[in-house]
Amino acid sequence: MNEPAIELRGLRKSYGSIEAVRGIDLRVERGEVFAWLGPNGAGKTTTVEILEGHRSRSGGEVSVLGHDPGRNDRALKERMGIVLQQTGVDQYLTVREVVRMVAGYYPRPRDVTEVLELTGLAGQADRRVKQLSGGQKRRVDLAVALAGDPELLFLDEPTTGFDPSARRQAWETIRGLAELGKTVFLTTHFMDEAQALANRLAIIADGSIVASGSADELIDAGSAVSRIRFRLADGIVLPDRFGARREASACELETDAPTRALHELTKWALDADAELLDLEVSRRSLEDVYLQLTADAGAAAAE
Amino acid sequence: MSGLALAVRQIGYENRAFWRNPPAAFFTFAFPLLFMVIFNVLFGEGAAGFFTPAIIVFSVVTATYTNLAMMVTIARDEGILKRIRGTPLPAWAYLAGRIGHSVAIAFLLVVIVAAFGALVYRVEVPWTAMPAVLLVLVVSAATFSALGLALSGLIPNADASPAVVNATILPVLFISNVFVPMESAPEWLDTASHLLPVHQFADAMMDLYARGADAGLPLMELGVITLWGVIGVLGALRFFSWEPRR
């Protein structure tokens, strides 16, 4: 079965005269963790909701596990799980009851106790949802999405509001799902999350995909891949030829040729008797790429 | 599981959640009885023959129409409906579960009110007309459930739901021979309110309570109520929404 988990061709969505999604092509393979990134209002949520079957499209072809999600097919819903941004479960039922209730909707559900263990809720199983903390409720959302043992999972900002250790735990859970061969479509605002989990990712800005590929591919694409950072004591002026940004004492410059740049920088510093405090050379981060691409798209849209 | 089995199972979960909020459950049942006692005090001896069927009507309307319109709107804005929509549970099975539970509560209320009327006020239960009574109750419960779902689609957000729901039902109850006997009302108002399902429901129950089997089958009343049921179903199909509104 070489059919992709998700395939989009020329997807469009307009609200009146506003084009929220302007012809998107996308392919997500089975067993892949795919990260879907983009600023608010870029058409990101609209696209996901079309995939989930919550929203209709204006044009293009959409295939999710071989089905058209716009047709509200029960057979498709039996094979996917959704974590929405908003918790939507009955507050007066216990965690176990909620998971068992939802599991019953599916033909081949996962064992309820197993789902609770996988999501770290075994200790809260008999507490009412109402009594849980925000982070625990978010885990109930994940548990509910896993209850039917779906092949494809949509996770919409699954770790927003988590403390750092809860986030790491959630990441482990998502990795575990990938190891089981599940396809995960992850929407997130956290670049470290996308980088840690996703095999491939795509960035949407202003209704179009501006980049897609693995995190490494995105970072290595284009210019100015390396970043040099240091601090200078007050009163020392860095010559303009380095093209560095400076905020108070902190300086930062980006370059394709870090060896030469570093050599010139240290030569200048020795001659000027200036100390490059906290000097570091690093690779550009995914966040840098993201900010640059989405800013470019924003500027293009404004023109 | 079949859709029907899922709907029945859904009633079970609704029921569990309902009883876990004891204050809400308590007042659901205490409220109609409280009204019954107050009206009987206000209107004096002999009023119970009127107010027993009247409060039965009030109970059915609040347990279905009011309750569904409010609770479904809240569930919608909490994202519960959207979540359900993303699962294989058929939409109708979910709604059937909610309606089924509301109707069960309504019938429990009818039994309590009828028993209260019989034991406290000596208002005889119309045993001889039981098939007609049950038919009127079933048709009315279905109609007011459908109207409640239709209304929820018109309520912009959960915060507005008590105000909107009460504004649509309380005036109707006042002009439908439920809270106040309509004897002294102007004729035009009486005629107008007979176009609405509450007045017809009340007329049918009162007649069955007063005359028992002699009342026969209230066909005219059932006809008007059913017509409103159709309007409710069409309205629900047209306006009902699964998405939270902001």
pLDDT at A109 over 60: yes
pLDDT at A301 over 70: no
- Asked whether residue A170 falls in the same domain as residue A137, the answer is yes
Q: Is residue A1 one of the residues assigned to a domain? A: no
B89 contact residues in A (CB cutoff 8 A): 105
- Asked whether residue A156 falls in the same domain as residue A37, the answer is yes
CATH code of residue A114 = 3.40.50.300
C-alpha distance from B220 to closest chain A C-alpha (Å): 40
- Closest listed residue to residue B79, CA positions, set A229, A83, A70: A83
| Confidence (pTM) | 0.86
Q: Which residues contact A66 (CB under 8 A, 6 or more apart)?
A: A3
pLDDT of residue B157: 92
Confidence of residue A1 (pLDDT cuts 50, 70, 90): low
What are B's interface residues with A at a Cβ cutoff of 8 A? 1, 6, 9-10, 13, 16-18, 20-21, 78-90, 242-244
Q: Is residue A179 one of the residues assigned to a domain? A: yes
pLDDT of residue B6: 94
Q: Is residue A284 one of the residues assigned to a domain? A: yes
Last residue of a domain, one of A200, A219, A238: A219
- Asked whether residue A14 falls in the same domain as residue A96, the answer is yes
CA angle B84, A96, A132 (to 5 degrees): 90
Q: What is the pLDDT of residues A8-65, one digit of tens each?
A: 999 999 999 999 999 999 999 999 999 999 998 889 999 999 999 999 999 999 999 9
Distance, CA of B16 to CA of A249 (rounded, Å):
63
Tell how far CA A41 is from the center of its chain.
Answer: 15
pLDDT of residue B32: 94
Q: Which residues contact A156 (CB under 8 A, 6 or more apart)?
A: A45, A48, A82, A83, A84, A85, A187
- Asked whether residue A135 falls in the same domain as residue A227, the answer is no
- Asked whether residue A128 falls in the same domain as residue A209, the answer is yes
Backbone angles phi, psi at A157, to 5 degrees: 45, 60
- Of the candidates B18, B86, B243, the beta carbon closest to that of A77 is on B86
Mutation target to probe the B interface, by most B beta carbons within 10 A, among A48, A72, A90 is: A90
Last residue of a domain, one of A171, A192, A219: A219
Distance, CA of A164 to CA of A155 (rounded, Å):
18
Counting one residue from chain A and one from chain B, the pairs whose CB atoms sit within 8 A come to: 69
Q: Is residue A213 one of the residues assigned to a domain? A: yes
CA angle B238, B239, B242 (to 5 degrees): 115
Q: Is residue A107 one of the residues assigned to a domain? A: yes
Q: Is residue A122 one of the residues assigned to a domain? A: yes
Backbone angles phi, psi at A104, to 5 degrees: -65, -15
List, run by run, the mean pLDDT of 10-residue segments along chain B (246 residues).
90 95 91 93 88 96 96 93 93 93 96 96 94 97 97 94 95 93 90 95 95 92 97 94 83
- Asked whether residue A126 falls in the same domain as residue A264, the answer is no
Mutation target to probe the A interface, by most A beta carbons within 10 A, among B1, B15, B20, B87 is: B87
B242 contact residues in A (CB cutoff 8 A): 54
- Asked whether residue A148 falls in the same domain as residue A275, the answer is no
Distance, CA of B180 to CA of B228 (rounded, Å):
23
Q: Report yes or no: B203 and B176 within 8 Å, Cβ to Cβ.
A: no
Q: What is the pLDDT of residues A76-95, one digit of tens each?
A: 999 999 998 887 889 999 99
SS (H, E, C) chain B: CCHHHHHHHHHHHHHHHHHCCHHHHHHHHHHHHHHHHHHHHHHCCCCHHHHHHHHHHHHHHHHHHHHHHHHHHHHHHCCHHHHHHCCCCCHHHHHHHHHHHHHHHHHHHHHHHHHHHHHHHCCCCCHHHHHHHHHHHHHHHHHHHHHHHHHHHHCCCHHHHHHHHHHHHHHHHHCCCCCCCCCCCCHHHHHHHCCCHHHHHHHHHHHHHHHHHHHCCCHHHHHHHHHHHHHHHHHHHHHCCCCCCC
What are A's interface residues with B at a Cβ cutoff of 8 A? 52-54, 74, 77-78, 80, 82, 84, 86-90, 92-93, 97, 101-102, 104-107, 128, 144, 148
Residues A77, B87: C-beta atoms closer than 8 Å: yes
- Asked whether residue A143 falls in the same domain as residue A127, the answer is yes
Q: Is residue A71 one of the residues assigned to a domain? A: yes
C-alpha distance from B155 to closest chain A C-alpha (Å): 19
C-alpha distance from B80 to closest chain A C-alpha (Å): 4
Least confident stretch, A193-207, A288-302, B187-201: A288-302
Distance, CA of A238 to CA of A250 (rounded, Å):
11
Distance, CA of A135 to CA of A35 (rounded, Å):
21
Q: Is residue A43 one of the residues assigned to a domain? A: yes
Confidence of residue A283 (pLDDT cuts 50, 70, 90): confident
Q: Which residues contact B124 (CB under 8 A, 6 or more apart)?
A: B118
- Count of residues for chain B? 246
Mutation target to probe the A interface, by most A beta carbons within 10 A, among B78, B83, B245, B246 is: B83
Q: Which two tokens stand for residue B1?
A: 């599981």
pLDDT of residue B181: 87
- Asked whether residue A140 falls in the same domain as residue A257, the answer is no
Question: For the complex shown, is ipTM > 0.85?
Answer: yes
Last residue of a domain, one of A188, A219, A250: A219
- Looking at residue A94, the DSSP 8-state letter turns out to be B
- Asked whether residue A25 falls in the same domain as residue A112, the answer is yes
pLDDT of residue A86: 80
pLDDT of residue A303: 59
- Asked whether residue A182 falls in the same domain as residue A294, the answer is no
- Asked whether residue A130 falls in the same domain as residue A178, the answer is yes
Number of domains in chain A: 2
A108: nearest CA partner in chain B = B1
Residues A106, B88: C-beta atoms closer than 8 Å: yes
- Burial class of residue A160 (count of CB atoms within 10 Å of its CB; 0-12, 13-18, 19+): middle
pLDDT of residue A134: 84
Tell me the sheet residues that pair with B145.
none
pLDDT of residue B69: 96
CA angle A78, A92, B3 (to 5 degrees): 30
Q: Which two tokens stand for residue B11?
A: 């009633």
Q: Tell me the residue range of the domain where A296 lies.
A: 221-302
* Strand duo A183-187 + A33-37: pairing: parallel
